[in-house]
Homo-oligomer: A and B are copies of this chain.
């Protein structure tokens, strides 16, 4: 267990309908690793709840800029950051004496950051992606490199720019350790940021990773101007792909149909603010993936789909949308042809 009084928390909560009053936990020290938009917004959320938060930035100049201007100019130039949020480029300094560290670096960087990280009582993944062709989940990496830490995942429909504006959002926190999940619920929970608790780490992570690939497809469909019906059909057939992959990784049906599954899928596929959706649109409008990546845009779906297709080959799980996204992004297929091939598959019993 982390240092905080988890027993006290557990005593106040009923496992069936646990209702933890927002702000019920004493303020503590927490770290967020990764100063992208989502890491910054999560750090701000924790700081606004009264916690002392250190935000680790890979680049020293970004840490200095945040310290000097009290905002993350690269991602959220209009968002003032609380004084209790301190930026640092020193990983050991970031996690010194913290109760938990939230990992919000791109999934491909998780392993190397974990290798350099000192021991931390609890590690919380906020990264959405797989890290190998066997669809290794991010918390598996956290646990392998840091067997001494408790691990959890935070996921759900969370367009960062909206959470930054304090618009309402609801997320899921999942952990094998119920006490850690309750602590996270208390640390993060605000009237505009609802935190639901789950035990299904595998399912939550599978959904969070795969939905980015479906969002690329939805972005392509929107970029081609195909409308809400086509997008809804893609989301529905995409949900079926989430369910198949999630089940193969040991996830539970209720997760696929909850906030971390259908919720995140819907938000990512229908918001023009979602990075993966934006990249799908740009591809549909003729931009090359290599050019988009060269412009500095990170869309997790582009990395995830490279892992998902070999997995589909190895397991014979049917993932037609993922396969078409891979054909478009890495095999030169025209987006219009890919979407058309998806829409004109022979009609079947549903």
Given contact pairs A197-B349, A198-B349, A263 touches B232 in the complex (Cβ within 8 A): yes
Bound-complex Cα distance A232 to B211 (A): 13
Bound-complex Cα distance A225 to B165 (A): 11
Given contact pairs A172-B350, A267-B232, A348-B17, A239 touches B257 in the complex (Cβ within 8 A): yes
Q: Is the interface of A mostly helix, strand, loop or mixed?
A: mixed
* Interface residue? A169 (CB, 8 A): yes
* Interface residue? A258 (CB, 8 A): yes
* Interface residue? A15 (CB, 8 A): yes
A185: chain B residues within 8 A (beta carbon): 347
Q: Is the CB of A157 within 8 A of B17?
A: no
Q: Is the CB of A264 within 8 A of B168?
A: no
Contact of A259 among B236, B263, B273, B343 (CB under 8 A): B236
* Interface residue? A254 (CB, 8 A): yes
A348: chain B residues within 8 A (beta carbon): 17-19, 196-197
Minimal Cβ-Cβ distance residue in B for A272: B228
A233: chain B residues within 8 A (beta carbon): 157, 168-170, 194, 259, 263
* Given A168-B343, A243-B257, 13 more pairs with CB closer than 8 A: A15-B349, A17-B346, A19-B347, A168-B226, A169-B229, A169-B233, A170-B229, A170-B236, A196-B347, A198-B350, A232-B266, A236-B259, A260-B350
A78: chain B residues within 8 A (beta carbon): none
Q: Is the CB of B344 within 8 A of A167?
A: no
A230: chain B residues within 8 A (beta carbon): 162, 167-169
Q: Is the CB of B167 within 8 A of A226?
A: yes
Minimal Cβ-Cβ distance residue in B for A258: B350
A236: chain B residues within 8 A (beta carbon): 157, 170, 257-259, 262-263, 266
